[in-house]
Structure 1
Amino acid sequence: MRSQEDDRNALIASSDDGRSGSLATPEDLEAVRAYLARALEDNTRRAYADDLRAWIRFCDARHYDRYPLTPVSVVRYVEHLAATGKAYKTIERRVTGLRGALKAAGHPVDEAVAAAARTALSVARKDIMREPGRRGRGKATAFTIAELRAMSAACPATLAGARDRALVLLGFAIAARRSELAALHLGDVRQVPEGLEVHVRWSKTGTERFPKVPYGQHLATCPVRAWSAWTTRLADRGRTEGAAFPRIDRHGNLGDQLSAEGVGDIVTALAAAADLGHRTAHGLRAGMATEARRAKHDAVAIAEQGGWTRNSREMLGYMQIIDSWEDNPLHGIGL
């Protein structure tokens, strides 16, 4: 299936080689590039820039040409990343990010280089798997319901505390990414007799979804009541539209929309306040999937709530965490 990036680069290439758009001026072409580049999300652009900087540092230290990539240079790059202790996922992301950044800039990597990169990554993965111990931090630890209660209890009785409780509980309930919570507006959440109807307008994958959030069984972890308490306090401040989760300074003054990084900082700080150690916001997304599966909910319903595709490797990985214990073939065999 063609991606937005494939379509964008095809259009740029067709303008470059004169087969179409031959009357376009250089200014027109640059305007087209800039417009199509907006298909890349902010997080993707930042990641691409970081991957390019890492590649440039590597090349400059060895007096390699930065571009074009060659099979030799890209293999040596993978070797370098592996030798410096990077986790396999980091190595893979650096290489694919570099390729994506060049492609987005109108300089796709040729197949010989791509094939060399794939082979080098395979070798690096095998070497790392043979090592004792584990590189990197691994997957984000999923938040459990008990941990959500602890985080809710750690929220102070302040405006910021009301915001943070609503952010964490709603984020868990809809399996939100940091960026999705940051982009949420007050008008995207509608309270109905059954609970909340949420419109996730913006997503990393470019798709929208409409998760439903029923009332919780416990006051401390009910996303609906937490949202109602938070928006009531916002309304008392005259804020009835705009960002669902704005910044709040130390004096309690409301600011503009939180960034995705700001959302992550809130979750990490709240987890630390609840004595849960260092945790990340992705644990909310992982937590909904694992806790819903633990409660025997269907994978399709979980996928729809969190915006996963039904065969998502990420979601199926969360399912496996629970299923490997609940449906373990060693149960009941007399061990």
Structure 2
Amino acid sequence: MTELELYGGGELVPSEDAARWARLAELDQAADEFEPRSENTLRSYASDWTVWERYVAEVGIPLEAGTPGAFLGFVIWRGKGGAAPATIQRNMYGAAVCLRERGVAVHPDGPKKAKKAIDVLARMLAEEGEQRGRGKAPALTMMQLRMMSKALPDTLKGLRDRAILTVGFGMAARRSELANLLARDVVVTEKGLLVHSRYGKTGARSPAIKKGENEWTCAQRAWLAWAAAADLDPDGPGFMRFNRHKMMGPISGQGIGIAVADAAEAVGLVGVTGHSMRAGLATAAREAGHDYKTIAVQGGWAPNSAALHEYLRIVDQWADNATAGIGM
């Protein structure tokens, strides 16, 4: 007769079955704990935790304090230190995640009350006319993209940066997406480019970029010129980094941002970042009459992305304006 064991709420089951159920319970627990995160997210959480460590050390409270008072004090401490409300909110949520991962029972009222305090700080700063942080990256216009591309020299680095600008704008790329492209991920067709981003914030995607009408903003032309000049290995990086004008290996997401910012600075544009290409495609496409779904698919935005809604609102507020046609 098979040996019996207690399992669950006192139920007798065969020992072999009990082992199987125990293994299943382990898998279920692993599934509950499974939360894949990108390298950027992990770096962000690590940075947020470092800020939290500084905070508790300065105010003299336990490191693993998950109470409402600890979170409210964090907002006040960061606010007095001159941090922007958006930065404080990110730090606060990141610290809460790290605390939970350390087994701390974070009181639900902590982040809630802290968020209300952040809103109060944002309103006070607005009333006082004080702006903290660099703010949102401005959307790159087609005219600005053309200026930046045209100003780049026809050197190997200049050809690379022109390809970064035009391919990045055309696919509304995140910096990490461009940095992680392999040369074979960019497929040249008669109609333009098919770019296979193997992974991203919303998963893999393959946006199509049509041939450009202007020589300085044509992604296909820019990519072909760069790929030929750099003699890219199909299985190697799509974009390389340079050290004193010598190619040294794959570029980083930060390197993408630097290339865009440098090209903007060269033509006198202020505040342009790598994200400006992404915002620029969204606004330019909306101005051209494209609908929300088409733009969301091109840029890999989530169906209800608040960020995309904000980009489109910038355009829509003029296209359908309540003050138009009323005799003002």
Partner of 1:194: 191
Residue 132 of structure 1, CA deviation: 2.3
Residue 322 of structure 1, CA deviation: 0.7
Between 283-292 and 86-95, report the one with greater CA deviation: 86-95
Q: Is the 8 A contact 2:45 2:98 kept in 1?
A: yes
Q: Partners of 2:113 and 2:73 in 1: how far apart?
A: 10
Q: Is the 8 A contact 2:137 2:271 kept in 1?
A: no
Q: Partners of 2:40 and 2:100 in 1: how far apart?
A: 17
Q: Partners of 1:57 and 1:212 in 2: how far apart?
A: 46
Q: Is the 8 A contact 1:194 1:214 kept in 2?
A: yes
Partner of 1:257: 250
Q: Could you tell me the percent identity over the aligned residues?
A: 38
Q: Partners of 1:78 and 1:47 in 2: how far apart?
A: 18
Residue 288 of structure 1, CA deviation: 0.3
- 1:241 corresponds to which of 235, 259, 265: 235
Asked if 1:324 is matched to 2:321, the reply is: no
Partner of 2:6: none
Question: Aligned partner of 1:169: which letter?
Answer: T
SS state of the match for residue 304, structure 2?
Answer: coil
Q: Partners of 1:74 and 1:135 in 2: how far apart?
A: 21
Q: Aligned in 2, Cα 1:71/1:330: closer, same or farther, shift over 3 Å?
A: same
SS state of the match for residue 109, structure 1?
Answer: coil
Residue 106 of structure 1, CA deviation: 4.8
Q: Is the 8 A contact 1:179 1:204 kept in 2?
A: no
* RMSD over aligned Cα atoms: 2.4
Query: Structure 1: which 5+ residue stretches go unaligned?
Result: 1-18
Question: Aligned partner of 2:129: which letter?
Answer: P
Q: Partners of 1:265 and 1:149 in 2: how far apart?
A: 18
Residue 105 of structure 1, CA deviation: 4.6
Residue 107 of structure 1, CA deviation: 4.1
Partner of 2:147: 150
Q: Deviations over 1:153-186 (max 9, x none)?
A: 1211111111110011100000001111111111
Asked if 1:184 is matched to 2:181, the reply is: yes
Asked if 1:48 is matched to 2:42, the reply is: no
Residue 20 of structure 1, CA deviation: 5.7
Residue 125 of structure 1, CA deviation: 3.7
Q: Aligned in 2, Cα 1:21/1:128: closer, same or farther, shift over 3 Å?
A: farther
Matches of residues 38-77 of structure 1 in structure 2 within 5 Å? 39-77=36-74
Matches of residues 61-210 of structure 1 in structure 2 within 5 Å? 61-107=58-104, 109-205=106-202, 207-210=203-206
Q: Is the 8 A contact 1:171 1:284 kept in 2?
A: yes
Residue 54 of structure 1, CA deviation: 0.7
Between 282-291 and 66-75, report the one with greater CA deviation: 66-75
Partner of 2:284: 291
Residue 104 of structure 1, CA deviation: 4.2
Q: Aligned in 2, Cα 1:96/1:256: closer, same or farther, shift over 3 Å?
A: same
Partner of 2:13: none
Between 98-107 and 263-272, report the one with greater CA deviation: 98-107
- 1:309 corresponds to which of 290, 293, 302: 302
Q: Partners of 1:111 and 1:21 in 2: how far apart?
A: 32
Q: Deviations over 1:73-116 (max 9, x none)?
A: 11111112223332211111111111122334554623243343
Question: Aligned partner of 1:157: which letter?
Answer: D
Q: Partners of 1:68 and 1:84 in 2: how far apart?
A: 21
Question: Aligned partner of 2:74: which letter?
Answer: Y
Asked if 1:230 is matched to 2:211, the reply is: no
Question: Aligned partner of 1:166: which letter?
Answer: A
Q: Deviations over 1:231-254 (max 9, x none)?
A: 11122xx633311001122243x2
Between 238-247 and 302-311, report the one with greater CA deviation: 238-247
Partner of 1:277: 270
Q: Partners of 1:312 and 1:155 in 2: how far apart?
A: 34
- 1:217 corresponds to which of 208, 213, 216: 213
Query: Structure 2: which 5+ residue stretches go unaligned?
Result: 1-20
Q: Aligned in 2, Cα 1:240/1:199: closer, same or farther, shift over 3 Å?
A: closer
Q: Partners of 1:107 and 1:45 in 2: how far apart?
A: 19
Q: Partners of 1:84 and 1:55 in 2: how far apart?
A: 13
Q: Partners of 2:116 and 2:323 in 1: how far apart?
A: 37
Max Rg structure: 2
Q: Is the 8 A contact 2:211 2:220 kept in 1?
A: yes
Q: Partners of 1:251 and 1:125 in 2: how far apart?
A: 44
Residue 23 of structure 1, CA deviation: 11
Q: Deviations over 1:109-143 (max 9, x none)?
A: 23243343344334334433433243322211011
Per the normalisation by structure 1, the TM-score is 0.84
